[in-house]
Structure 1
């Protein structure tokens, strides 16, 4: 797990961070996530390919100005601090969507609002 970035404007809102196993096979694979805020409305941010969770920092900062939100950002497989998994066929939108669902389920969230950019929008669908 990476060292905590204390220079980030989101630092004071960080509730939890870590890795969650998203593997549906015997080979372990995990995605790195960060959870900000404590509000009842859950927001999941999905970045596009070749980007990581940090692309959402200014957007999450705006949402955290309202205490009703809790924001989840994560590095999808193969990006940032998440594991690199298999070859090109391991990075389909359905595989990335399955990872997102496993992450949401692991957090125990029943209802979420999903915000995606580029490939992240396709994953959200």
Structure 2
């Protein structure tokens, strides 16, 4: 059951016709050496503005966020840094490590043995902090989706002084008691994993959107290695917004509810009509919630004017 949940991160987000990455593709792509890795990123907005770090999910490059979210946050007065996790996009790749033998790694995972992973989610969190050092960012709002939400949670727990606030989107603590994907979602996974024409078309569409299917097995091992992070998540003290889709069949809503339950004082927002994706019709309200959350934190940091 737990394996099915973690495996479902490979399906990522459905490719939607209204998705656009044209604006992001026009922005300069920069690459810096951070934590021993080449980390690719794009920077929108003006240095000195409150900064948001955007971390995407399994096998996804930063362009999967899409123009609407990136431009929406930028237009609200934020500097937005969108990065490629290690092994994704233009960041350092681990192709020489090869592909994990999934059935064997799953068997080891199920019996409690360590899995073989070329890196961990903790390494990916450290990459982000190292990039912040290079960009001379004392702190930032950390936003992550799916696996990116797991990385963001680790940053907030392990580097609270670098985390201005946390936004965890359609993610999980990895707790084993939480529900697995639905039967329909399982069928989708099996269909994606086959060599059928339909599966090939889906993979091609994912690549066009900015996914790298060939790295998903390695990044899945990083998720497996992290296991249940509930105790660590419970230590998060930074202002937190948890966003989840009411119709998410890949990581069902109880995962978001439990994440919010673990983080004292966090706010949970569940959007009806949202699955494990970022639907166009939900984005305006989602951007409003995110902006209100982060601007509220920023205002609280500004010393009040003295009364003469």
How many correspondences in the alignment? 112
Residue 17 of structure 1: aligned partner: 29
Output one character per residue of 1:97-122: Cα deviation in whole Å (capped at 9) or x when no partner: 01011011110001200100011111
Shift of 1:31: 1.0
Residue 40 of structure 2: aligned partner: 32
Q: Quote the RMSD (CA, aligned, Å).
A: 2.1
**Structure showing greater Rg:** 2
Aligned to 2:148, the other structure's residue is in SS state helix
Shift of 1:9: 2.4
Once the two structures are superposed, the pairs formed by residues 50-69 of structure 1 within 5 Å of their partners are: 50-57=59-66, 58-66=68-76, 68-69=77-78
Residue 118 of structure 1: aligned partner: 146
Once the two structures are superposed, the pairs formed by residues 74-113 of structure 1 within 5 Å of their partners are: 74-85=83-94, 87=97, 89-113=117-141
CA distance in 1, matches of 2:71, 2:143: 14
Residue 42 of structure 1: aligned partner: 51
**Where does structure 1 lack aligned partners over 5 or more consecutive residues?**
1-6
Alignment check: 8 A CA contact 2:24 2:63 kept: no
Shift of 1:11: 6.4
Aligned to 1:9, the other structure's residue is in SS state helix
CA distance in 1, matches of 2:117, 2:127: 14
**Bigger relative contact order, structure 1 or 2, given CA contacts below 8 A and separation 6+?**
1
Normalised by the size of structure 2, how large is the TM-score?
Answer: 0.34
Which is richer in helix?
Answer: 2
CA distance in 1, matches of 2:31, 2:60: 18
CA distance in 2, matches of 1:63, 1:89: 34
Normalised by the size of structure 1, how large is the TM-score?
Answer: 0.78
CA distance in 1, matches of 2:22, 2:135: 23
CA distance in 2, matches of 1:33, 1:8: 16
